[in-house]
Structure 1
């Protein structure tokens, strides 16, 4: 075999290869301690512009605000490299010349004069502290070489920017800039950049909040080193600046939101949010301004959402995060509470979509029993015949229950869930008529997301807190129904807008209030073109607050929030396809005829209709028969008659029947015009109340006279009902609920006309009118 084929042995080459292999094995067995998922991590939650909202320290209680190279001022980066390591971009992690210089100084002076450390070596010492000894320095050099082999120069520099000690519990240039200077590191001036560059050399001795003179001297040394790199004028100005610092304090904006996001932030060092720092401060200040007027233990919550992309601009989960007596750590944005009347807009909107109503449908705000459920109004009074628009803007309870009965509670709850609004029921509970008055639970967060549908063409959505949160949208209402309901809440509908009587018509704000049973929760939710804002006031432990209701405690705060956060003027909104204004008639509820001579069109109203539908008034719950009917009258007297009791010619007249429960509530003028005329005297024996109920003790048209100075005492009884309770009304106002057998007594103190009505729980009634002189 030729000798040239034999392997040639080169001792130096093999020695170097073995050394390299050994270094690689050591590197793998003893890797540098780079920050990882399992390392102690500080967490920073920031606003949309980078303003810290809240910082959570790591397990060592260190505060760190993570930044990238691009988020730090170029002045700081330039000063850092010029002062600490001019050859950082060129050396392999160690600078032999600097090390030789440091060793010579040590031999000459017997002590360390300069360490000769590069920035990479400083990062190695930050990540793995070692004693200031020869073995420690050798270990530091080894770690620096490992870092250079594993990371780019920018990655090493980023580690320094984030982990350099800055005094106390602060680490990194961003944490120091925020804490000492009150600004982000990207906005540092020449003097501020120089100050933060020198601070890691002796963090405890150079803290500007404690040792301002020492900090200034060290800073000036950096500035002088930068002569020739920075303009002379800039350095001269920087030398004149004091080395000031503000008192260290923890950032604390939207603290409960930060706590909430922290729970799902495993392994993260920073969470970006959509919070607008200025809006958040405004919300918290407005809440704080009201604390003095609130009883102890009462809290507040507010949520502000941008309608365009459902981004949350402000989040206040409690009134004051520092006040434990007000349950400061209970997040009432997320808590499930009774929503009171805040679900009514969705009820009427869904009923519009189902073709059950239009904006002026006739409803009955009178005492009624719905299968034993007898709702009342907040003000303990009734209004008689009302439209949908009036029922919504006045937040009347009985009409809402009437509509819900027609829509069906189970279907209503299902439609809400389809639109993203989930209601909470007690274990074993099921939807019933009470749900529209707050008989279920939901949260401020869900309500605000649902209300955004009124500004987003009927599409509701889940509020988004972070850029990585997906957009979750569901159709709650048709675009037409959302438009109509928003207009009713904003202006009262077509009539209200014509006279600008709606509370929000000049500002373009539509809102609804709500109060839960027992004054436990006060709500106000509103929408503008740009924002949806929700407010809750109450005690988190559910204790009642008598006198606290949505209109007097939550609505004023809501208006102030809109005034402070949304200064844009309202835009003119065009009605979506399918929405138009139409004249309709009461009591039938259908479209008005072209002429004015239809006797069944007793009142004309201008309504919003959807898809051309003008549904009729709900069927009479108490009285059968068609809504249109005919009567016979004597053409001479105009009085009602029948062939059985009158031999003359009779005239047939078409009438429209009002719901039986509403007839007692019609005003005198309207009553005379729309109800059947009185019976002829010859037919009096046939003139029985249609309900079978009769008032005795006085007759229609009686005149009572005072006997001297003593007002007359009226005593009435009722016939035709069982021994249950009846309701007595005087001039349309409730005068008492009593057993039928107890009768009714009233001292007629004032002269004038009195309309007295009696109703039973089945809606049957009788009415008489008399005068006192």
Structure 2
């Protein structure tokens, strides 16, 4: 027996000596060492919990008064709520482990027994019967999705080893359940519990937990809102596994399966302002603990604006209009009170997730007020200046001749600054920009907050004032808030904490130019040529407003304010498809009108302040100078005190040569027309009748046009005369008046107002405060 044992030892020693000296033996030994090295390598590159920390806990949003808006956390448009493991229902932890990895706490990154079993079953069935992915491997796949092939599986295993090397089991499980895909764009058990059941994850019962644990296996196939019966079958599997693992008994599993559980729509996780919540979440720094964010949103106002967006779009659907956005700001604080990015965030088929408040679009004419303000501030133009609305041509290097035109394709000749801005005339705005300089204007816009105008001045050219750049509704609203605050800049505020931490703003020491622009934009009669005297822009309280329409009618804008609020609206199509017969006043303006009326339903805003230190003087509407007896239209306009000397001593002169082409085209239309046309008063004129002069003053009605027949004159429907004369004198008296003339083949009509002045005139009679040139019949 001893000989045999000694012989066996000798044989064994001889075998190992041969193995060590043979090439094959060295190869086997090298392979063993390599496998050991590979298995140890993850410990030299471990992934720790802090390395994959999501950094965001569940954010609960409320409005300014504490009313809930929604609970979510989002990155890349995904609802993701993150909670610690101890804030998750034990029933859910048991359910997810039973369904996905029942021996999670008893194996490493890989479950070798499960792998062996899966291989054996696949060989026997000649197909893959069951998987062997552990929770750690699934987490690896969530962190770094790879193709489902051999190379991808090796990458997944390598990452799983690194996770196991750097994290304990609880850390891995917490990272896993906070990333679980739960249907749609819902991720994590906390987000799912709050979205589907309006409860936190720690309150889930067995029935709810087993249903949620059933979803991640195939979130599309088991979508609770689309495939309820499939989900119930998967729930039965989860409950059976929970029974097998000893978490619950059969009776409790049966009760959980038969319990009636109702899933709420995914959008119910958000009560109001979805675009605002997603945008605000992306702006938040990492909160410590569960985030409770009190926003500046006024929920009743928000829901009102959301409803108005849908109603206005419904009325414009025949005009190929499908999208809109709106923003409401408190001028005094800069707080965002309402934020609507689209008609329905949850309508993915109609691009509902697009945020029209932050999207970049061409702003049309909404930038014009800022070029006029800059020109006034630099002294390039004066408030009483006359601008030429006549054909103009600009040579642009490397491009076609630039010849701006107005929406109507017509020209008005000499126009006041007030009329040019209020009626959004293009050529005067381009002429003003030419004097100011594109670089200076671009810098001015950037100082106002237009961060996306980041190209060179040459890139935008003179078209910048007509909207050749791209801006957001957010940027426009911010700039108009600065205007409403008379040049005092302010950041837009979205949370109450920002409001409480904001520093008091220093008033603008020189607000005069802003006050002039506000006065012009709030002058309803000044914009009568383009919009009429009773458009949706005319509200029963003081408002300053500007519309804009981009090229090819792809975007319409209306931005305006009272002393209290700024409202910015956009109407168009996210696809960029043109609208049909829709402009700023017919697209975005009705929405702006509804919001403004609602804001001031119970509170009328204060009047805008008059420009400080300026004086109003009568001027000739054609020359901008002190009226002469030959002046047909006298209007009131503001003057700087320093300009009064020049006003009292005007230099003689007529229209300059730049008007020659325009004048030549006016002659046939004005004096040789066969159509009747009222040339005095002008449509939209406002006459001031001074105290003591009511009974002694008459207004001359004038018309032109060839007709051999008698002309019928009517005022507010009452017949005044039937005469062949081209003029008629009328005893002036206060009121709103519509003058009509009619012959057999032609007619014309204008509207004007007469008001009693509150102060005694320095000149006898009455004066025209505002005058337009618009003789087309409505």
- 2:667 counterpart (714, 728, 736): 728
The correspondence of residues 229-628 of structure 1 with structure 2, limited to 5 A, is 244-247=262-265, 251=269, 274=295, 276=297, 278=299, 281-292=303-314, 293-294=316-317, 298-304=321-327, 306-307=329-330, 308-309=333-334, 311=336, 313-316=338-341, 322=347, 324=349, 332-356=356-380, 359=383, 361-364=384-387, 366-367=389-390, 369=392, 375-381=404-410, 386-421=415-450, 423=453, 429=459, 431-432=461-462, 434-460=463-489, 478-492=510-524, 503=537, 506-507=540-541, 509-529=543-563, 531-540=565-574, 542-563=576-597, 569-572=603-606, 575=609, 579-580=612-613, 582-587=615-620, 607=637, 613=641, 615=643
Within the alignment, does 1:179 sit opposite 2:195 as a pair?
yes
- Asked whether the equivalents of residues 613 and 641 of structure 2 are also in contact (C-alpha less than 8 Å), the reply is no
TM-score (norm 1): 0.51
Classify the secondary structure of the residue corresponding to 2:421: helix
The correspondence of residues 23-38 of structure 1 with structure 2, limited to 5 A, is 35-38=49-52
The alignment yields a C-alpha RMSD, in angstroms, of 7.1
Separation in structure 2 between the aligned mates of residue 566 and residue 323 of structure 1, nearest angstrom: 34
Separation in structure 2 between the aligned mates of residue 342 and residue 403 of structure 1, nearest angstrom: 15
Classify the secondary structure of the residue corresponding to 1:572: coil
- Asked whether the equivalents of residues 392 and 427 of structure 2 are also in contact (C-alpha less than 8 Å), the reply is no
- For residues 385 and 614 of structure 1, do their structure 2 counterparts lie closer, same or farther at Cα, with a shift above 3 Å needed? farther
Classify the secondary structure of the residue corresponding to 2:323: strand
Shift of 1:561: 3.4
Between structures 1 and 2, the one with greater helix share: 2
- For residues 747 and 458 of structure 1, do their structure 2 counterparts lie closer, same or farther at Cα, with a shift above 3 Å needed? same
Classify the secondary structure of the residue corresponding to 2:522: helix
- For residues 731 and 244 of structure 1, do their structure 2 counterparts lie closer, same or farther at Cα, with a shift above 3 Å needed? same
Classify the secondary structure of the residue corresponding to 1:343: helix
Query: Any gaps of 5 or more consecutive residues in structure 1?
Result: 1-25, 86-112, 134-138, 141-146, 219-240, 618-625, 630-655, 663-690, 694-720, 737-744, 755-773
Q: Which fold has the larger relative contact order, with Cα–Cα distance below 8 Å and residues 6 or more apart in sequence?
A: 2
Shift of 1:555: 0.4
Higher alpha-carbon Rg: 1
- 1:661 counterpart (650, 655, 676): 655
- 1:51 counterpart (70, 78, 98): 70
Shift of 1:556: 0.4
Aligned to 2:13: none
- For residues 256 and 568 of structure 1, do their structure 2 counterparts lie closer, same or farther at Cα, with a shift above 3 Å needed? same
Count of equivalent residues: 553
Shift of 1:304: 1.6
- Asked whether the equivalents of residues 337 and 441 of structure 1 are also in contact (C-alpha less than 8 Å), the reply is yes
- Asked whether the equivalents of residues 535 and 557 of structure 1 are also in contact (C-alpha less than 8 Å), the reply is yes
Separation in structure 2 between the aligned mates of residue 543 and residue 502 of structure 1, nearest angstrom: 25
What per-residue deviation string (whole Å, max 9, x for no partner) do you get for residues 642-669 of structure 1?
xxxxxxxxxxxxxx4676339xxxxxxx
Shift of 1:431: 3.0
Shift of 1:355: 3.9
- For residues 554 and 564 of structure 1, do their structure 2 counterparts lie closer, same or farther at Cα, with a shift above 3 Å needed? same
- For residues 321 and 502 of structure 1, do their structure 2 counterparts lie closer, same or farther at Cα, with a shift above 3 Å needed? closer
- Asked whether the equivalents of residues 618 and 637 of structure 2 are also in contact (C-alpha less than 8 Å), the reply is no
Separation in structure 1 between the aligned mates of residue 107 and residue 632 of structure 2, nearest angstrom: 87
Shift of 1:506: 3.8
Query: Any gaps of 5 or more consecutive residues in structure 2?
Result: 1-39, 63-67, 115-133, 136-163, 240-258, 396-401, 676-704, 712-723, 728-778
Aligned to 2:765: none
What per-residue deviation string (whole Å, max 9, x for no partner) do you get for residues 233-289 of structure 1?
xxxxxxxx9865435557577666777788899999999795848455544443333
Shift of 1:558: 1.7
The correspondence of residues 626-665 of structure 1 with structure 2, limited to 5 A, is 656=650, 660-661=654-655
TM-score (norm 2): 0.50
* Range 273-282 or range 539-548, more displaced: 273-282
- For residues 729 and 658 of structure 1, do their structure 2 counterparts lie closer, same or farther at Cα, with a shift above 3 Å needed? farther
